[in-house]
Structure 1
Amino acid sequence: MALHPKGFDLSLGRITRLLERLGNPHEKLPPVIHIAGTNGKGSTSAFCRAILEAQGLKVHVHTSPHLVNWHERFRIGAEGGGKLVGDEVLADAVRRVAEANQGETITVFEILTAVMFVLFSEHPADAAVIEVGLGGRFDATNVIAHPAVSVIMSISLDHQAYLGDRVELIAAEKAGIIKPGSPVVIGAQSQEAAREVLVETAERHRCPHSVYGQDFLALEENGRLAYQDEDELLDLPLPKLAGRHQQANAAAAIRALKAAGFPLSENAIAEGLVNVSWPGRLERLTHGRLVESAMDGVEFWIDGGHNPGAGQVIAEAMANLNDRQSRPLFLITGMINTKDPVGYFEAFAGMARHVFTVPVPDSEAGLDPEFLADTADEAGLTAEAAEDVETAIAAICRNWNGLERPPRILIGGSLYLLGDVLRVNGTPPV
């Protein structure tokens, strides 16, 4: 972080040059499941990993950003389930990549992407699930020439300064991971303009493609998940991950693995859905220092979603929780300055009792909490700034009237904020 630019500089020239010096490790990978999208790509990666591991396969997984530790970005496939890369192995790979770069200008993400390719090429596995960092067309992961399948999840407005200010422009950037002749799976799209761009690109490249809602889908029926495509109808358990949107994400993962040619049993799919883990995404915190600092009965949830599309699905998930067990909802929110806070907060209008806005620790791009509180007011919520998450939790508990059920607290708006929350709480991802 001290040596290389922290921002985005989307290009394939630097990463291609670096990989050539390293012997092109990206050409020595197991079958790659390459996943892009504004929302849902991380969850879909988690479903792919869980299902393949339930099938008895070894799976490498690359995700970004990390929440607490850099190691989270690199899960190395192993018998019985992948493990986060160890200190010595990671340090050695970073050292070799840095030496190969020869001090040339390059971004942190490009260095880490090269590290990922080195690690994944040197450890045998049956599959590699690789999540795009930003966009698709010029993302450093997009040097993969022949993916087993390209998956593009839900697209909405985000990172407009880099990807464009219209959803069809963002879709065109995400569609850059589509490669001639390789299978394509298009996840659930809330905007028709995005879906049309993705389908047109797949057709232009003569790719066999499957579209959610047209070629495959998933529906909740009698407390179960019914998955259907042109081949079969599966009766499955509901996904472990909270939120109705996870049903569509699970369906995209199933369809992607089938399109990539992996043999899957119905038992493995079912086992994957109930054992999947994806920290920081509609995750309920049940223990830890922050949880124990609150009064008895408070329910804690965290989610790193930070754009209007994410706000909508998170708010829907909170509403569904209230259908089963009504509690007043409080938000503790921090964001960085590339996001649309008003669009995010609008999803919670009429639902959240109050918002506490907090700084994003160790981020130069964090929005001022006073400004963020003003944007929550603009979206129709009542809000106030707080010094940090712990102060906000204390304020909620101190002012509780005791006449209602203990509150539900949702901490979110930034994965960087969640990383600090998990660190302070003592529950980092493993």
Structure 2
Amino acid sequence: MLTYQELIQQMNQSMLAAEPDRVGLLCDVLDQLDHPEKQYQIMHIVGTNGKGSTGTLIGNLLINTGEKVGHFASPAIHNDREQIQLQNKMISETDFVSTYEKIIGKLTADFKMNQLSIFEWFVIIMLQYFADQGVSWAIIEAGLGGKYDATNAISAPIITIVTHVDLDHTMILGNTIKKIAYNKSDVIKPNTTVFLAPRQSQDTKNVVEQRIVERHAQSLIDTEYVDIKIDSETTNGFDLEISSHELRQTKVHLGMLGEFQLDNLKTVISLYDWLIQDGYVSNNNLIGDILKLTLSQTKIAGRMQIIQQQPTVILDAAHNPDSTKRLIESLKRIYPNQKLKFVLGFLQDKNYLEMAHLYEAVADEIVVVTPDNLQRAIPAVELHEVITNSKVVDNAQIGLSQLLTRSNLDDVIIVTGSFYTIKEVEIE
């Protein structure tokens, strides 16, 4: 039997999403496997920002109500197996290999391993693993876009969630929000209920509404109806008052930082309403208590994550201009008088020029690094030419250590720019 490391090394490491009809190939694979994804209920999540937070909150809510939940999300921070989680525990090396071998045993003799990229293998293994483990719900986040993403090979999900859509991966998805919305909304399938996260552009709304009609989806739920009032905001999160179809001026604590999380929370609350109204969970005091527990206890690695105090160190995986603006807004509001220092590392296929200028405008000090993805990273020396007052260091861990030695106790250090940058810093 192969070891996990041997199997990963043998897999095709190329990005094949841009090649024609990858989704069609994956559909053929799922046909041969008798569509394992039909054995459980699916929530499919697409969007530019907010997929991870939305998916994690919904997953934890369902787990706390007694459901068996699988969650697929990318990219991973420390271990690729983090992408496939069952009840918030990543798939074991043994289960990963045995699931792969089960799949290979069902495919035609002429099928070769390298026909699929490593990401496509993770998707297929995830779908089969969740079936084998008997999950009741699978929360599946798209990796890149929607139309050509490997997760689009699934059969019609019960729920499709479109989180905030903005400019990102423009070389692949298109250079306007309308084009990106078309790509992402391609995942909408017949009879699915579509949830549209708040604060969308009119182009995104128009495209999603058009897709729903074209694809004979069941309905559209605009999450703007959820009303959230901020009672207080601290470094421990938000104290909020929420009103929705099932909540009446309900006091909750959200243990996550960043006002952008309130948009994600509106989506989660609208799903909470839907789960009750459609009979998936019962509306009683217990479910309300479970919601409050879920919101207060959920923490998400790499999203406004404080890993140290005095000086404060924050990890945030903001990797496009939209998420960068939201991060800076949150930092200014929570730390209005503190010095802000940044460890920055970007991928060259992102709009790093705009992000660099945004950080430069608010930073007291910047060190630049080359993210741990040599194929896609912009070298730190090139980033230094954009941010001329920055210092070049070898990696994010060294950059953080140097800033710590030069910081006062009330300074704030932020490691950001890419998942591949923050993953170099140990997360507790």
TM superposition score normalised by structure 2: 0.87
Q: Does 1:85 align with 2:91?
A: yes
Partner residue of 1:6 out of 10, 14, 32: 14
Correspondence list, 1:98-247, <5 A: 98=104, 100=107, 101-204=111-214, 205-213=216-224, 215-221=225-231, 224-230=239-245, 232-247=247-262
Taking a change above 3 Å as real, the CA distance of residues 245 and 238 of structure 1, as seen in their structure-2 partners, is farther
Percent of paired sites with the same residue? 19
Taking a change above 3 Å as real, the CA distance of residues 103 and 124 of structure 1, as seen in their structure-2 partners, is closer
One-letter amino acid matched to 2:197: G
Cα distance in structure 1, aligned partners of 2:93 and 2:113: 23
The SS at the match of 2:254 is: coil
After TM superposition, the runs of 4+ consecutive aligned structure 1 residues lying more than 4 A away are none
Taking only aligned residues, the RMSD between alpha carbons, in angstroms, comes to: 2.2
Taking a change above 3 Å as real, the CA distance of residues 150 and 236 of structure 1, as seen in their structure-2 partners, is farther
The SS at the match of 2:313 is: strand
One-letter amino acid matched to 1:396: L
Cα distance in structure 2, aligned partners of 1:313 and 1:207: 33
The CA deviation string for residues 138-164 of structure 1, in whole angstroms up to 9 with x for no partner, is 211112333121000001111112111
Partner residue of 1:384 out of 367, 379, 391: 391
Q: Does 1:416 align with 2:416?
A: no
Taking a change above 3 Å as real, the CA distance of residues 361 and 143 of structure 1, as seen in their structure-2 partners, is closer
Taking a change above 3 Å as real, the CA distance of residues 149 and 71 of structure 1, as seen in their structure-2 partners, is same
One-letter amino acid matched to 2:291: I
The CA deviation string for residues 82-138 of structure 1, in whole angstroms up to 9 with x for no partner, is 422222111211333455343352211111100000101111222111111111122
The SS at the match of 2:266 is: helix
Q: In the alignment, which residue of structure 2 is the partner of 1:351?
A: 362
- Report deviation, 1:190: 4.6
The SS at the match of 2:212 is: helix
Q: Contact between 1:240 and 1:276, CA under 8 Å: does it hold in 2?
A: yes
Cα distance in structure 2, aligned partners of 1:41 and 1:285: 22
Q: Contact between 2:231 and 2:241, CA under 8 Å: does it hold in 1?
A: yes
Cα distance in structure 2, aligned partners of 1:48 and 1:106: 30
Q: In the alignment, which residue of structure 2 is the partner of 1:284?
A: 306
The SS at the match of 1:233 is: coil
Taking a change above 3 Å as real, the CA distance of residues 388 and 22 of structure 1, as seen in their structure-2 partners, is same
Cα distance in structure 2, aligned partners of 1:383 and 1:407: 18
Larger RCO, structures 1/2 (Cα 8 Å, 6+ apart): 1
Q: In the alignment, which residue of structure 2 is the partner of 1:360?
A: 371
Cα distance in structure 2, aligned partners of 1:320 and 1:128: 36
- Report deviation, 1:398: 4.2
The CA deviation string for residues 372-404 of structure 1, in whole angstroms up to 9 with x for no partner, is 123335xxxx3222122233234324444x5xx
The SS at the match of 1:409 is: strand
Cα distance in structure 2, aligned partners of 1:23 and 1:212: 35
Cα distance in structure 2, aligned partners of 1:245 and 1:275: 18
The SS at the match of 2:425 is: helix
One-letter amino acid matched to 2:170: Q
* Between 220-229 and 269-278, the greater mean CA deviation after superposition: 220-229
- Report deviation, 1:2: 4.7
Q: Contact between 2:342 and 2:414, CA under 8 Å: does it hold in 1?
A: yes
One-letter amino acid matched to 2:318: G
Q: Contact between 1:224 and 1:235, CA under 8 Å: does it hold in 2?
A: no
Partner residue of 1:369 out of 380, 388, 409: 380
One-letter amino acid matched to 1:250: L
Q: Does 1:249 align with 2:264?
A: yes
Taking a change above 3 Å as real, the CA distance of residues 98 and 371 of structure 1, as seen in their structure-2 partners, is farther
Q: Contact between 1:31 and 1:127, CA under 8 Å: does it hold in 2?
A: yes
User: Gaps spanning 5+ residues in structure 2: where?
Assistant: 1-8, 233-237
Partner residue of 2:331 out of 318, 328, 333: 318
Q: Contact between 2:130 and 2:138, CA under 8 Å: does it hold in 1?
A: yes
- Report deviation, 1:170: 0.3
One-letter amino acid matched to 1:61: H
The SS at the match of 1:200 is: helix
Cα distance in structure 2, aligned partners of 1:226 and 1:238: 9
Cα distance in structure 1, aligned partners of 2:198 and 2:360: 25
Cα distance in structure 2, aligned partners of 1:132 and 1:306: 16
Cα distance in structure 2, aligned partners of 1:253 and 1:347: 30
Q: Contact between 1:133 and 1:141, CA under 8 Å: does it hold in 2?
A: yes
Cα distance in structure 1, aligned partners of 2:194 and 2:227: 15
The SS at the match of 2:11 is: coil
Cα distance in structure 2, aligned partners of 1:146 and 1:256: 18
Q: In the alignment, which residue of structure 1 is the partner of 2:345?
A: 334
Q: Does 1:268 align with 2:290?
A: yes
Q: Does 1:96 align with 2:106?
A: no
Cα distance in structure 2, aligned partners of 1:420 and 1:392: 10
The SS at the match of 2:365 is: strand
